[in-house]
Structure 1
Amino acid sequence: MSKKDDNTRPIIIKRKKVVEGGHHGGAWKVAYADFVTAMMAFFLLMWLLNATTDQQRRGLADYFSPTVSLTPVSAGGDGVLTGQSMSGDASMIQLGRGGITQSDANGTAPEDGVLEAIEAAIMGKGGESLLDREDLRHVAVRLTDEGLVIEFFDLPDSPLYDGVEVTPLLERLLASVAGEVRKVPNSVAIDAYIASVPVVERAPQSWEVSSGRGHALRRRLPDVGVSEARVVRVTGHADRRPAATDPMSSRNNRVEIIVLRDTVPLRR
């Protein structure tokens, strides 16, 4: 073969073509990892919703809200689920500063309007409150399907009862709100609760004490112009349904006057 033929011979270059994808590629692994992460986040969210209270969920939401300033008692407490918003009414009540809780009522508009007017007058939503600033710390008001709940509760070193007898403080609180209660003819119910006592106590009397406190308040109603005949129920709940996380907290010593809706059947 001549030298000329060698120079004109075609040169063939073989390049190996790599095809990504299919079962040999890695793109599906990224998609699968994203899916597993999303499912884990979903089930974690479901667990949190089931394992927390409404107040804890509100504190958790406030923690991530840019419109709520963080303070030593607003999130960042003893864990991420124990935060509270200083500006929230529920937190004010929990901390013993009075407040108005969120309404869960589904009543008629006219009746809601009347009960909300009583609520506003007691708490001073539209101006001056019926109670002075110090006494207002013992009061919380909320509108529910059952009616308007006016709650009085203990603060440390400031009890509402001496045993089962009302203190001058509770008498003053009752007299302050009685005028608004007299404005409507609705029936009234009284629910009393007390804080838990240590298990080492020899003879706990939680049921008797809570019932006795409810009846002691009932007997005071005529003194402030509210007919005792309007009372359709007095219930002692002992230390059930505590208002504070600590069952032995003084915040759990409380009594509720419920201005019942006319459309709500009585609980037996």
Structure 2
Amino acid sequence: MPGENARPIIIKKIKKVSGGGHHGGAWKVAYADFVTAMMAFFMLMWLLNATTEKQRKGLADYFSPTVAISRASGGGDGAMGGTSMMADAALVQVGRGGITSSATHGTTLEEAEFRAVEAALLGKGGDSLLDEEQLRHVTVRLSDEGLVIEFFDLPDRPLFEDNRPSPLLRGLLASVAPEVANRRNALAIDAHTAAEPVVTREPRAWSRSAARADAMRLILPEIGVADRRIARLTGHADRRPAAANPLSPRNNRVELTLLRGGR
């Protein structure tokens, strides 16, 4: 018959497999991104644990945008970074938005003087008035009231012995004396203590903090600070802890504040 010698017709159908199928590679890209992100996270955690507070502040300042807040800074990106060749102590420094006279109670000149004291104590512009061991007991910060110089205990390194200034505290005050004694600002002294591990019939934190504040007042004339400059003396007991653990030695501290405007 005529159709018996005809060749059979074979139709081939090719099935295309999309990239998202069982053997696709899209998930590998997502997984690689996830692993990279986790590695970056663990590196960040390790760096935070391996650096000091001062180093972390330096890293934060490096990655923060800077805004010139003084005419002494040109905002350039050259070797000087736009800053003047004059000493930092005589200038308002370049900061992250900065602190201006409209934002605080002080004047621009007063802000510059506070920054100069901070730089001298912490060694931001070169050598510090405090040695490496002393710097572990000191923080300096700017507040609405003025420049706060805080001295605090470390484990087995107390500032007071039976409410009397220890040699450590005397050494700290002697080191900051050149910057504190030469200023005209009035001073405020605030003393804080750690909480007691047991409840006593008469809470001793109030009397202890008041005694330490007064002991601080009595020692200031020895470093050249006139008693008439002291405008306020306050014992806060354990009401304002600096550390989360109320029993931490870090809560034993005294603050010496250079008040704004001589108030």
- Whether TM-score is above 0.5 comes out as yes
Matches of 2:128 and 2:157, distance apart in 1: 20
Give SS of 1:71's match.
helix
Provide the alpha-carbon RMSD of the alignment: 3.0
Amino acid at match of 2:239: R
Amino acid at match of 2:238: D
Q: 1:220-259 counterparts in 2 under 5 A?
A: 220-259=219-258
Change (3 A) 1:213 1:85: closer
Amino acid at match of 1:197: E
Q: Which runs of 4+ in 1 moved over 3 A?
A: 84-89, 102-105, 199-203
Q: Could you list the per-position Cα deviations for residues 158-204 of structure 1 after superposition, in whole angstroms to 9, with x for gaps in the alignment?
A: 00001211000000000100110122111000000000012334443
Matches of 1:223 and 1:85, distance apart in 2: 32
Identical residues among aligned pairs (%): 51
What's 1:70 paired with?
Answer: 45
Verify: 1:177 aligned to 2:176, yes or no. Answer: yes
> Is the 1:148–1:260 Cα contact (8 Å) retained in structure 2?
yes
Matches of 1:72 and 1:204, distance apart in 2: 42
> Is the 1:221–1:228 Cα contact (8 Å) retained in structure 2?
yes
> Is the 2:181–2:223 Cα contact (8 Å) retained in structure 1?
no
Change (3 A) 1:123 1:145: same
Matches of 1:70 and 1:172, distance apart in 2: 36
> Is the 1:73–1:86 Cα contact (8 Å) retained in structure 2?
no
Q: Could you list the per-position Cα deviations for residues 9-61 of structure 1 after superposition, in whole angstroms to 9, with x for gaps in the alignment?
A: xxxxxxxxxxxxxxxxxxxxxxxxxxxxxxxxxxxxxxxxxxxxxxxxxxxxx
Verify: 1:114 aligned to 2:113, yes or no. Answer: yes
Q: CA deviation at 1:85?
A: 7.3
Verify: 1:125 aligned to 2:124, yes or no. Answer: yes
Amino acid at match of 1:233: R
Verify: 1:191 aligned to 2:190, yes or no. Answer: yes
Q: CA deviation at 1:73?
A: 6.0
What's 1:157 paired with?
Answer: 156
> Is the 1:141–1:149 Cα contact (8 Å) retained in structure 2?
yes
Amino acid at match of 2:114: L
Where does the alignment leave 5 or more consecutive residues of structure 1 unmatched? Answer: 1-62, 75-83, 90-101
Give SS of 1:190's match.
strand
What's 1:15 paired with?
Answer: none
What's 1:11 paired with?
Answer: none
Matches of 1:247 and 1:159, distance apart in 2: 16
Matches of 1:85 and 1:140, distance apart in 2: 10
Matches of 1:145 and 1:85, distance apart in 2: 23
Q: CA deviation at 1:108?
A: 2.0
Q: Could you list the per-position Cα deviations for residues 38-95 of structure 1 after superposition, in whole angstroms to 9, with x for gaps in the alignment?
A: xxxxxxxxxxxxxxxxxxxxxxxxx9x97x8312865xxxxxxxxx978445xxxxxx
What's 2:141 paired with?
Answer: 142
Q: Which moved more, 1:103-112 or 1:141-150?
A: 103-112
Matches of 1:205 and 1:71, distance apart in 2: 41
Matches of 2:156 and 2:145, distance apart in 1: 32
Give SS of 2:44's match.
coil
Q: CA deviation at 1:153?
A: 0.1
Where does the alignment leave 5 or more consecutive residues of structure 2 unmatched? Answer: 1-37, 58-95
What's 1:213 paired with?
Answer: 212
